[in-house]
Structure 1
Amino acid sequence: MRIARKLFPSILCLLGVSCAEEKNPYASRYVAGGTAPATGTANAGAANPGTAAAGSPTVMDTQEAAKDAGTVAKPDAIAKASLAGVQLICSNPPALAKAQAELGVLCLNGQPTQAFANALAAPYKGGANPPLVLIKSVDNNGTSEFIVLAVIEVPKPVAEVFGKRAQLSTGTLTAGNATVTQSVVTQVPAAGGDNMGGAEIKFDLNVSVGIIRVANTSILQADSNALNAEKSIISTISMLKPGAADNADDILSTSLSFMMQDGNATKIISVNHQMVNNRGQAATAEQTVTGIGRATMTDTYTKLMQ
């Protein structure tokens, strides 16, 4: 089987024949007895619990979540504690202009989607089986497009949670046969006003399947802005850094996330959008993406609770 060349460079910005490592690790790599490619059917939905090796969501699950992502939430679907924040996010403030495709998962015509409402109502609060929602998984002639939605809740105020943002982009985690290491290359201080600063993040992905040893690096650029004067709702957009040599072979990696005060707690909302060359192995690419996504949710919650 051929593993997807580039997989899930971020979730909260926060995602061969020889044993030799290479910069472009997923080009023309094979292992006998691989997983059959997925069909071109659009998948979107709540991924089944498990690791990267546990498999993909069912078609019924993905179709249901696709419907929810394209439907305005039912009346009273958003809890009162979240309502003001959700309305502000869906008012499409200028700070979100670069992430319209990702914002479209959460909001439709200025109103929250049912997918957004569902995720807010069932946030991850630790434990096994993080509820990662696979909104989209499409294989188009060897290019996979993934959109995933995650909501995490911690019993801490936004200011404290945001203060740990550098920790969320530092460290190593493992999901199935994939290992991700992140480090903050540069921290950009807040410029005043709504600007809350940013960071340049190095994202290293290593995958080992049988005799394959692969490695790849991405450079991400994250920028944060407060959406209100109280700074109780903070948005972060993470994208591939333009002109970075390590990103030359990437197609798309964009993350839109929010830290939102919700009563006495903070909800972390993240939409991650990836396009990758799957080299004929869409199912394997999907398994790796969802596995890393769940591992990242667990890692994020653990760090925020320390």
Structure 2
Amino acid sequence: MRIVPGILSLNLALLGASCAEEKNPYSSRYTTGAAAPVTSATNAGPVGSTASSGNAPTGMSTEEAAKDAGTVAKPEAIAKASLAGVQLICSNPPALSKVQAELSVLCLNGQPTQAFANALAAPYKGGANPPLVLIKSVDNNGTSEFIVLAVIEVPKPVAEVFGKRSLLSTGTLTAGNATVTQSVITNVPAAGGDKVGGADIKFDLNVSVGIIRVANTSILQADSTALNTEKSVIATVSALKAGAADNADDILSTSLSFMMQDGNTTKLISVNHQMVNNRGQAATAEQTVTGIGRATMTDTYTKLMQ
């Protein structure tokens, strides 16, 4: 999982690479509708672990999480402190036009999904077992597709949390047999109005599983936009940077994330969508995703509480 300015973003080349001669040979499989039905639901912890669930501590299965992502939540499921921010996100502002597949995990027909409501009601506040929700895990002829949802809560206002975003763009973390290192290549300053800045980030992944060794570098472009004049809800859209040579072998890595004022706290909401060549190791790929995802949630919370 890669950390970008403002929130979490997953980016894993995992266990292999697509054909370098074709930038995205699987683009026809990437739709902008609701999350597709799940065909694999292996619950797994970090690589090499024996954890029993890759989702929230409740043990929710991937099928249940996917069902919740396709169901509108009851009005009372959203706390009053979150309601204005959630309504703004689900109004589908123009800034989110390119991430409809990811937004569909959170919102359905302009209303919050049950998956969104569940995650908001049980955010990560530090400690063990970060509640990373695995919405989708599919192995399609050696190509794994993952969608994960994470919500973190910190007892600080949005402005202070957003001001710490540079802390989230650098460093190294390890989960099982996977190690990720990230660094900022270029900072994009705020352009005025709703454009509050961005960054190009280098992400290095190393995975060692049995005889398989992976060393992959990707470049992520992240852009942040305030969704209201008060800047109490800030969206960050990140994706593989177009034209970057290091991304030639990557398939898909897209993240939609938000910092949302929630009473006296800030909720950090992230939907991460990945497609990777798994070299026939779909279960290991899923373990890597959930392991790095949890490690990133812990790392993000720790840095923001400094």
TM-score range, shorter chain: 0.7 to 0.9
Partner of 1:42: 39
Pick closer, same or farther for the CA change 1:144–1:188 going to 2, 3 Å: same
Q: Report the secondary structure of 2:224's partner residue.
A: strand
Give the partner amino acid of 1:26: G
Q: Distance in 1 between matches of 2:140 and 2:253?
A: 17
Shift of 1:280: 1.0
Q: Is the 8 A contact 2:14 2:285 kept in 1?
A: no
Q: Report the secondary structure of 1:54's partner residue.
A: coil
Q: 2:46 aligns with which of 25, 45, 51?
A: 51
Partner of 2:167: 167
User: Which sits farther off after the overlay, 193-202 or 57-66?
Assistant: 57-66
Give the partner amino acid of 1:54: T
Q: Is the 8 A contact 1:184 1:199 kept in 2?
A: yes
Shift of 1:118: 0.1
Partner of 2:203: 203
Shift of 1:214: 2.9
Pick closer, same or farther for the CA change 1:24–1:161 going to 2, 3 Å: closer
Structure of greater Rg = 1
User: Mapping of 1:211-226 within 5 angstroms?
Assistant: 212-226=212-226
- Give the structure-1-normalised TM-score: 0.86
Gaps of 5+ in 2: 19-36
Pick closer, same or farther for the CA change 1:280–1:211 going to 2, 3 Å: closer
Q: Deviations along 1:196-243, whole A, 9 cap, x unmatched?
A: 010000000011234554311000000000000000000000100001
Partner of 2:230: 230
Shift of 1:167: 1.0
Q: Report the secondary structure of 2:146's partner residue.
A: strand
| Number of aligned residue pairs | 279
Shift of 1:75: 2.5
Q: Is the 8 A contact 1:81 1:263 kept in 2?
A: yes
Give the partner amino acid of 1:91: S
Q: Report the secondary structure of 2:67's partner residue.
A: helix
Shift of 1:129: 0.4
Give the partner amino acid of 2:142: G
Find out whether 1:155 has 2:155 as its counterpart: yes
User: Mapping of 1:1-306 within 5 angstroms?
Assistant: 8-9=1-2, 12-15=7-10, 26=16, 42-43=39-40, 50-52=45-47, 53-54=49-50, 57=54, 61-210=61-210, 212-306=212-306
Q: Is the 8 A contact 1:136 1:147 kept in 2?
A: yes
- Give the structure-2-normalised TM-score: 0.86
Pick closer, same or farther for the CA change 1:99–1:75 going to 2, 3 Å: same
Q: Distance in 2 between matches of 1:264 and 1:187?
A: 29
Q: Distance in 2 between matches of 1:65 and 1:230?
A: 33
Q: Is the 8 A contact 2:144 2:282 kept in 1?
A: yes
Q: Distance in 1 between matches of 2:17 and 2:245?
A: 17
Partner of 1:3: none
Pick closer, same or farther for the CA change 1:88–1:76 going to 2, 3 Å: same
Pick closer, same or farther for the CA change 1:244–1:284 going to 2, 3 Å: same
Q: Distance in 2 between matches of 1:57 and 1:294?
A: 9
Q: Distance in 1 between matches of 2:38 and 2:77?
A: 29
Pick closer, same or farther for the CA change 1:43–1:79 going to 2, 3 Å: farther
Q: Distance in 1 between matches of 2:255 and 2:3?
A: 7
Q: Distance in 2 between matches of 1:213 and 1:234?
A: 38
Q: Distance in 2 between matches of 1:13 and 1:288?
A: 16
Q: Is the 8 A contact 1:233 1:260 kept in 2?
A: yes
Aligned-pair Cα RMSD in Å:
2.3
Give the partner amino acid of 2:179: T
